[in-house]
Amino acid sequence: MRASAHRRLLPAILAAVLSLAPAMAPAAGWDAPLAARDGWSVVATPHPFETLLERLRRVVEAEGLFVVTEAGPTGAARARGITIPGNRVVGVFNNVFAVRLLEISVAAMIEAPLRFYVTENPDGTATLAYKLPSTVFAPYADEGGAPLAEVAAELDGIFSAISAQATAP
C-alpha cells in the first residue's frame, strides 16, 4: 500500500478508535468520589484517607462495636506496581448483636460484620460510606419481624453516631 493510501485511511481509523473510547472508559472509577445511593450514607470529609481510617477505628470502639475485619486492594496493588487511591472496607460488630440476631434470624447473621467503606478522593480527601443496617437486614424482615427491625434501628443509630464523630471537622 502506498503512503498516500495510508494517509487517507488514518483519519477513518482514528475516528473509529476515538468513537469507542467512551464505551471503554469506566463510568465512575477511582477518578470520581463515591456517589450517594439509596440505602447508603455517604459523607465526603476534609480528612486525608489515613486520618479518616484512624478516626473511624477509634470511634467504632467508643460506640461499643469492634473492628473485626479490614480489607482493601491498595497495598496489594502497590506490591504489584500499581498505584490506586486508598480504599478500605472495615467490618465492625459486637457479639451482643450477633447473639441477638441469631435469636431472631439465623439467615440474617450472614450480613455480619456490617461494614464501613473508606475511599480516597482525587483531591486527597476521603469519603466514609456504609449501607444502613436497616437496608442490610431488610431482606430478612419477613422472617425477623419487629425484633429484627428494632436491632436494625439500633444499629442505624450507632452507625450514624460513628459516622458523625469520624467525619467531624
Using alpha carbons, select from 59, 84, 58 the residue that is nearest to residue 73: 84
Helix %, strand %, coil % for the chain, to 5? 55, 20, 25
DSSP per position, 80-133: TT-----EEEEEEE-HHHHHHHHHH-TGGGGGPSEEEEEEE-TTSEEEEEEE-H
Q: What is the pLDDT, as a whole number, of residue 10?
A: 47
Q: What is the pLDDT, as a whole number, of residue 23?
A: 42
Mean pLDDT in order along the chain per 10 residues (169 residues): 56 45 50 86 97 98 97 93 95 97 97 97 96 98 97 98 97
Q: What is the pLDDT, as a whole number, of residue 3?
A: 59
φ/ψ of residue 74, rounded to 5:
-60, -50
Q: What is the pLDDT, as a whole number, of residue 33?
A: 76
Q: What is the pLDDT, as a whole number, of residue 134?
A: 98
Could you tell me the domains of the chain? 32-167 (3.30.310.70)
Q: What is the pLDDT, as a whole number, of residue 21?
A: 42
CA 96 to chain centre: 25
Q: What is the pLDDT, as a whole number, of residue 2?
A: 61
